[in-house]
Structure 1
Amino acid sequence: MTAITDQQQTRLFQQARLARDARFDGRFFTAVKTTGIYCRSICPATPPKEHNVSYFRTATQAAAAGYRPCLRCRPDSAPGSAAWLGSQSVVQRAMRLIQQGWLNDHGLGELASYLGITDRYLRQLFQKNLGTAPKHFAQYHQCLFAKQLIHQTSLAMSEVALASGFNSVRRFNDCFKKMLLVTPSDIRRRSAEAQNSDLRLKLFYRPPYNWTAMHRFLSVRVLKGLEQLSESAYGRSISLNGQQGFFTATHLPTQHAFDVRLDWSDLSQLRTVVNQIRRVLDLESDAEHIRQHLQPLLPIAFQWHEGLRLPGTWSLFEAGVRAILGQQVSVSAACQLTQQLIDELGQKAHGRTYFPEPAVLENRSLDFLRMPGSRKQTLRNLAAHLLRYPDSEPADWASIKGIGPWTIQYTQLRGMGAPDIYLDGDAGVKKALRLFPADFDAQQAAPWRSYLTFQMWQQ
């Protein structure tokens, strides 16, 4: 794609702002000089005059410039956007870890070391790409999540503080006022939306969102007892760090959102849970941006499907197990094997079934699975590896006997929502390649080759 100038980009933002184009929601934020407030591109307020407007790529930058969030359009609810970061995978990974609460329990130096860089270089990357420091980014997103909870739930302020990663209400209040230039109690008083007595949040996305394709993909892979799928909703049991719960996400197409109901008691992990739900439903991707990049690369005979998303699994271990059970068999056969595993080894509690943990599989014979013994051993090998190295990611699994490139890539695709995975060894992808010229180079589709893979599966 041809790079656009800053002037062209500003004109694009202006057009999107005036049109309230939801496809740009979260890709930029509008700050109004006369009011000191910044808004989403879809804010329902009367549009300010252009000479009173400044544009920022992130909410963090708008806040750093001294603007406070709009209480009407709620920038905390905007879909996240990392599309403009391009190939800055280190920054994207750091953002993901910080938003999951990494800095709540670790120092910046530990985060940098985990990413394989120095903390000085990490700060430089954040300053260059986000215009702020990593710790400021972390605190700001803690406050935005807290703001969403204040608006949409009836949780006490002490519970909001805990859920958003603060150790004390006093520190929460101080940081909230410093970051958002308004107090938590003031937001709650002025919130017009009825608050829910249960944990229920609206999670927004940028349209288009192809729920039909997502539903079709899930319908042939849904696991009874573990997952539920209806015409407009997807739900499943979830577990995290020894805690268990359940969520149901109902699609609200006219609002470009999912209404998520959560059964989850450990508020200290709530932010991580919500971020995982966003990944499972792939709510962060910018479908229009991806289309503009991919569609020019495709042959005329290729049928483009608008708004495809990456259907995620809850954990890396679950994604890895599903990938191993899917090696060299059909989708239906893989689903049947996974269902047998769930029925035999899944933990039953509160009328629900939970995906078995690595400790359950490590030393089991798995005789109930009708597949080669070597593949059963691969399951045990993966379980043992993750018990020894719980923070290990798929890229580290190549040394595990029985796990090859396809298994690693499929796990990255569904277990991490990795946007740039091209499954060139997949039968469906090979079949779709018949539509392409012989000299087609999939590298041109980077960094969105995962979406190319899903488009090819639709063919």
Structure 2
Amino acid sequence: MVTDAGEMIGDDGRYEAVCSRDARFDGEFFFAVATTGIYCRPSCPATTPKRANVRFFPTAAAAQGSGFRACRRCRPDAVPGSAAWDTRADVVGRAMRLIADGVVDREGVSGLAARLGYSARQVQRQLNAEVGAGPTALARAQRAHTARILLQTTPMPVTDVAFAAGFASVRQFNDTVREIYAATPTGLRAARPRTPTRFGDVGAAGAAAGIPLRLPFRGPYAVEETFDVLAADLVSGVEEMTGLRSGRRYRRTLRLPHGVGIAEVREDGGDGWLVCHLCLQDLRDLTTATQRLRRLFDLDADPCTIAEQLGLDPALAQVVVARPGLRAPGTVDPHEFAVRVVAAGAAGLVARRYGQPLATARGGLTHLFPRVEDLADGSFDELAPPVRRTLRALARRLADGDLALDAGVDRAAAEKALRAVPGLGPHAAAYIRMRSLGDPDVLSTEDGAIRAGMSRLGVAAVDAERWRPWRTYAGLHLAAAARDRGKAFSTF
């Protein structure tokens, strides 16, 4: 029936997944019921509808565009994103990553098209053909989800919610909420869950206290290993880790399109989600902040498909089974991470000297990481001369636009441009491609831990071809196999 979570043989296979309420497929497709006018995630606990009444859609926006309303029980708008958009390097995959980052809301469809190097008509046509909805509809579905979160987690006035979620008018906001949720904004707020469910308890909090969120993921999640990676590379003043093992809290500052944010993510999350708390200077940044945290924690990955593919290699099978749900942490800011790779152990000094201080320190958080524009002419006296030259060259190219690192960039072209930066070697370029661009198919055989893992397991570089498109995760398992405690990443 199933080749992987994103590719199934026909609608009959999808219906089988719905009958089994298989949560692995949440976000990979949606199903709608013609007799009720409602669409759901595959794992919805409601009574399974008859096959003849079911239609399938690749995105929530496509279901909404066909006139179906979101199920209030399973909240299909809150599923993990499809892993396909992380693996695909074509224009549709790049467009989906940019839309998730809020580019359409900030720059319009023309801005999205310009970033992709296509006309707006071409982008519209390709998205409609692939995902059943154009960029405007996809962004609208995302705005509706943001509005629901604000209505059900803050006491913000409804009018403020409308503009904070990105709607152009209160009328547009009201019409969208009624169409998608079959309720008025006030009714949607009154209907918020009061007790925890298998899909998370949104709870309630004051706007001043921030916004509590559930960040959903599919399959197992190796949360300890992910927090170990983040703890090993903390930039003082920008990030901090508090609490004891198995109860740690990762906190960091965020530079967002409309203002400053503080994010806290807990290690001891729930069954199928991480617990997050966001404090935002401007609530219009909620969608962007959430998506960037999802990339940091690699929450849209499909660990079952990855494990199935890598487990076919006898050399990797045992180590893959030993670490279910191993993730590839990304970053909240591609430019920031590229600078961190070059500055290495001095990233904290660079942040404190060139970054923007917070108006009020929050515990150990004191600064926003500096923009590349602020680093392009930096003296970097605190760094060794070779690092100084490389960092200045990198910052200038990023600031001038000669080098692009964003959610929709062509990853191969970006790595080639990174290698052209004086002093930035192929291993650094590959590492930036992996973390900054969230590429799941990068393997640097220059990494000492990966080489040690390959030697221990008796595999050669030529074997890596059969690990596509999950070579990043293969590298994590190789590096883990080379360590006594099985940490996921080597320290760069």
**Normalised TM-score (structure 1):** 0.88
Q: Deviations over 1:303-347 (max 9, x none)?
A: 11211112223212221122213xxxxxxxx4x333343454444
Deviation at 1:179, TM superposition (A): 4.8
CA separation in 2, counterparts of 1:15 and 1:2?
Answer: 10
**Aligned in 2, Cα 1:33/1:265: closer, same or farther, shift over 3 Å?**
same
**1:389 equivalenced with 2:401 (yes/no):** yes
CA contact (8 A) 1:76 1:147 kept: no
Deviation at 1:49, TM superposition (A): 4.0
CA separation in 1, counterparts of 2:14 and 2:340?
Answer: 42
CA contact (8 A) 1:37 1:69 kept: yes
CA contact (8 A) 1:358 1:387 kept: yes
**1:262 equivalenced with 2:278 (yes/no):** yes
**1:311 equivalenced with 2:329 (yes/no):** yes
Deviation at 1:429, TM superposition (A): 2.0
Secondary structure of 2:319 counterpart? coil
CA contact (8 A) 2:103 2:112 kept: yes
CA separation in 2, counterparts of 1:322 and 1:184?
Answer: 43
Alignment of 1:242-261 (within 5 A): 243-261=259-277
CA contact (8 A) 2:403 2:418 kept: no
**Aligned in 2, Cα 1:11/1:243: closer, same or farther, shift over 3 Å?**
same
CA separation in 2, counterparts of 1:190 and 1:241?
Answer: 31
1:422 is aligned to 443
CA separation in 2, counterparts of 1:237 and 1:86?
Answer: 28
**1:282 equivalenced with 2:298 (yes/no):** yes
Give the aligned residue type for 1:402. Answer: G
**Aligned in 2, Cα 1:133/1:358: closer, same or farther, shift over 3 Å?**
closer
**Aligned in 2, Cα 1:300/1:236: closer, same or farther, shift over 3 Å?**
closer
Secondary structure of 1:276 counterpart? helix
CA separation in 2, counterparts of 1:188 and 1:269?
Answer: 20
The counterpart of 2:424, out of the listed 383, 403, 410, is 403
CA contact (8 A) 2:8 2:14 kept: no
2:464 is aligned to 442
- The answer to which of 214-223 and 303-312 deviates more is 214-223
CA contact (8 A) 1:143 1:180 kept: no
Identity %: 33
CA separation in 1, counterparts of 2:229 and 2:78?
Answer: 27
2:366 is aligned to 353
- The answer to which of 59-68 and 373-382 deviates more is 59-68
**1:455 equivalenced with 2:455 (yes/no):** no
CA separation in 2, counterparts of 1:7 and 1:99?
Answer: 24
Alignment of 1:364-375 (within 5 A): 364-369=378-383, 371=384, 373-375=385-387
Deviation at 1:42, TM superposition (A): 2.5
**1:222 equivalenced with 2:223 (yes/no):** no
CA separation in 1, counterparts of 2:232 and 2:105?
Answer: 39
Q: Deviations over 1:361-404 (max 9, x none)?
A: 333332323x3x12211111222222222982244434322223
2:452 is aligned to 431
CA contact (8 A) 1:247 1:262 kept: yes
CA separation in 2, counterparts of 1:211 and 1:439?
Answer: 29
Secondary structure of 1:255 counterpart? coil
CA separation in 1, counterparts of 2:437 and 2:217?
Answer: 18
1:238 is aligned to 254
1:329 is aligned to none
Name the Cα RMSD after superposition: 2.9
- The answer to which of 306-315 and 188-197 deviates more is 188-197
CA contact (8 A) 2:269 2:275 kept: no
**Aligned in 2, Cα 1:417/1:201: closer, same or farther, shift over 3 Å?**
same
- The answer to which of 104-113 and 165-174 deviates more is 104-113
CA contact (8 A) 2:154 2:211 kept: yes
1:331 is aligned to none
Give the aligned residue type for 2:334. Answer: L
CA contact (8 A) 1:123 1:133 kept: yes
Aligned residues: 448
**Normalised TM-score (structure 2):** 0.82
Secondary structure of 1:208 counterpart? coil
Q: Deviations over 1:164-197 (max 9, x none)?
A: 2113212222333345554323322322334221
**Aligned in 2, Cα 1:125/1:347: closer, same or farther, shift over 3 Å?**
same
Give the aligned residue type for 2:139. Answer: A
Q: Deviations over 1:138-182 (max 9, x none)?
A: 222222222233233333222322222113212222333345554
CA separation in 2, counterparts of 1:289 and 1:300?
Answer: 14
CA separation in 1, counterparts of 2:328 and 2:57?
Answer: 28
CA contact (8 A) 1:428 1:457 kept: yes
CA separation in 1, counterparts of 2:67 and 2:268?
Answer: 34
Give the aligned residue type for 2:293. Answer: I
Deviation at 1:6, TM superposition (A): 8.7
1:328 is aligned to none
CA separation in 2, counterparts of 1:142 and 1:446?
Answer: 34
Deviation at 1:62, TM superposition (A): 2.0
2:376 is aligned to 362
CA separation in 2, counterparts of 1:6 and 1:322?
Answer: 37
**Aligned in 2, Cα 1:7/1:323: closer, same or farther, shift over 3 Å?**
closer
Q: Deviations over 1:60-115 (max 9, x none)?
A: 22223321101111112111114289645321110111222222243434422321
